[in-house]
Amino acid sequence: MLRFGHMALPGPLKRFFCSIANATTVLLNPTERVITIKNATNEDKKMHFPLAWLRDNCPCPVCYSASSELRNLKMMDFCPRVNAVSVQMSEQSESMTVSWDDGHSSSYRLEWLRAVAFGADTAGRQRPPLTRNRPVLWCDASKATAPIWQPKKVRFEHIMKSDAELLLTLLELEERGLVLIEDCGVDSEVVKNICKRLSFPRTTHYGETFEMRAEAKPRNLGYTSDRLDFHTDLPYMHEQPGVQALLCQVQASGPGGDSLFADGFSAAEHIRRSRPDLFRLLTTVPVRFRDRGQLADRRFDLVATHATIELDCQPDGEWCYRRVHFSNQQRDLLQAWPLADVQLIYDALKAFNDVIEGRDISSDSSKVQLQVKLRSGEMALFDNSRLLHSRTGFSGERQLAGAYLLWDEVLSRRRTLESQLQIGRQD
Ligand code: OGA
Ligand code: ZN
Ligand code: ZN
């Protein structure tokens, strides 16, 4: 990976390396508390650097630890109102040196400054890469029809052996939310091995991995042979694991036992367009979830509240879907809802479920929902913070093994694979 100063340069910016112009001027504006670098030949290419930000990101070995790639400057030693006493460009315009009124002096390479500058647009934003790739919705809510989407299938052996195949699988999981892994075998160790290949299994009260079959005294409705409502797993946790692996060990030999997946973000988008009043409730009303009981010799009582549809809102007003939390069986009896709102909150929950189930006449269920009967040895790897899942009822024997993972760890794996394979932005 190419490194300049104390930060690696984003891939797309590498093309600027050799175009450093000679006629570079640097201006200090003490009132705005900004240093601006401009090129005489290109007014549009103004780069702005707030003084506080520049001092905060001094790349010298006192202020920055190159080995850990972390800031060494302590907040208690940093003054956000620091002033620049002088600013100088080197003779060949290769670097800029700033002397500060706290007695420190910092030198910044121009290549690095170009990569990290605040822009010249009206808001003058610095544009860091997104923390995750944008989800690709299964259904375009603005179009009447869309092709039925089919999940990508990969072979277990391929993702275990090939880093490139693993990366493609993780990208698909991030963008579509679902990948099917074939020829896994039926040993529950396989689930653990997949988790370790992706990151780590996230232990819960169900253990590092768990097995599910119909039981005489079910600890939740998953352990029956009934049809399940569409749900996300573990909504009763605030730090809910965002990725789930489900391996089919034994599939029902007769009809039923099919897995159903629905894109919660597509459903949310549909509600946003058709019923903005209900969308507002689904994105703001906290719903309390609870699960309690005993597993082995340990009692548990897990409680969390979430809005049904969680949004990620940026300071500039941009937003995107973040997570969906929905589980009819685990929604708690007690809710802190104002009496006057209760009816509408139920209407909103039901409307969301109707879109998911394809009962809303104005939506095409085939776009939001997908049905697949996993064969034994087949595994579904899916985004538990976006997809809702379910299964059809069955009779006879059927067994699944599962595990959870954290999105943070999976995204970390995706980024390091990209940098190892030199794909995408290497920042
Ligand atoms: C569950 C569940 C899926 C299945 O128990 O939470 O989603 O296919 N089970 O049995
Ligand atoms: Zn320094
Ligand atoms: Zn489930």
Domain annotation covers residue 134: no
Does one domain contain both 178 and 107? Answer: no
* CA-wise closest residue to 109 among 190, 198, 202, 8: 8
User: Considering only CA atoms, which residue is closest to atom 1 of ligand 1?
Assistant: 222
pLDDT at 366: 59
Q: What total number of domains does the chain contain?
A: 2
pLDDT at 67: 97
Domain annotation covers residue 127: no
Dist. CA 408 → ligand 3 center (Å): 21
The strand pair at 152-155 and 178-182 is best described as: parallel
Dist. CA 6 → ligand 2 center (Å): 11
pLDDT at 231: 98
pLDDT at 425: 52
Does one domain contain both 200 and 345? Answer: yes
pLDDT at 60: 98
* Cβ within 8 Å of residue 339, ≥6 positions away: none
Ligand 1 atom showing the smallest separation from residue 398 Cα: 10
* Cβ within 8 Å of residue 4, ≥6 positions away: 109, 111, 112, 115
Dist. CA 106 → ligand 2 center (Å): 5
Does one domain contain both 32 and 90? Answer: yes
**Residue keyed to tokens 């352990």:** 223
pLDDT at 315: 75
Ligand 1 atom showing the smallest separation from residue 374 Cα: 8
- One digit per residue, the tens of pLDDT, for the chain of length 427 reads 223 333 333 333 332 333 344 578 999 999 999 999 998 677 668 999 999 999 999 999 999 999 999 999 999 999 999 999 999 999 988 999 999 999 999 999 999 999 999 986 777 888 887 889 999 999 876 665 555 679 999 999 999 999 999 999 999 999 999 999 999 999 999 999 999 999 999 999 999 999 999 988 887 888 889 999 999 999 999 999 999 999 999 999 999 999 999 999 999 999 999 999 999 999 999 999 999 999 888 999 999 999 999 999 877 788 999 999 999 999 999 999 999 999 999 999 999 999 999 887 666 655 789 999 999 999 999 999 999 999 999 999 999 999 999 999 999 999 999 999 988 655 5
Question: What are the start-end ranges of the H helices in 364-406?
Answer: 365-368
Instruction: For the beta carbon of residue 31, count every other beta carbon within 10 angstroms.
Output: 5
Domain annotation covers residue 337: yes
User: Considering only CA atoms, which residue is closest to atom 9 of ligand 1?
Assistant: 222
- The CATH code of the domain that includes 170 is 3.60.130.10
Does one domain contain both 158 and 97? Answer: no
Does one domain contain both 46 and 167? Answer: no
pLDDT at 18: 32
User: Considering only CA atoms, which residue is closest to atom 8 of ligand 1?
Assistant: 391
pLDDT at 4: 30
The answer to whether 221 and 275 have CB atoms below 8 angstroms apart is no
Does one domain contain both 287 and 371? Answer: yes
Ligand 1 atom showing the smallest separation from residue 223 Cα: 5
> For 254, what's the count of Cα atoms within 13 Å in the CB-facing half-sphere?
7
Task: For a ligand 1 pocket test, name from 212, 215, 219, 398 the mutation site with the most ligand atoms within 8 angstroms of its C-beta.
Answer: 212
Does one domain contain both 78 and 19? Answer: yes
Lining ligand 1 with CB less than 6 A are 212, 222, 228, 233, 259, 389, 391, 400
Does one domain contain both 230 and 184? Answer: yes
Q: What is the extent of the structural domain holding 187?
A: 152-420
Dist. CA 7 → ligand 2 center (Å): 14
Domain annotation covers residue 143: no
Does one domain contain both 74 and 220? Answer: no
Dist. CA 228 → ligand 3 center (Å): 8
Domain annotation covers residue 122: no
The answer to whether 361 and 354 have CB atoms below 8 angstroms apart is no
- The CATH code of the domain that includes 91 is 3.30.2020.30
Q: Which ligand is closest in space to the CA of residue 78?
A: 2
Does one domain contain both 245 and 305? Answer: yes
Domain annotation covers residue 4: no
Dist. CA 313 → ligand 2 center (Å): 34
Task: Choose one of 55, 88, 116: the last residue of a domain.
Answer: 116
What is the secondary structure of 341-363 as a DSSP string?
Answer: GHHHHHHHHHHHHHHHHT--TTS
Domain annotation covers residue 137: no
Domain annotation covers residue 62: yes
Helices vs strands, H then E, count in the chain: 10, 23
Does one domain contain both 187 and 276? Answer: yes
pLDDT at 19: 36
Query: What sign for the dihedral angle of Cα 213, 217, 221, 224?
Result: positive
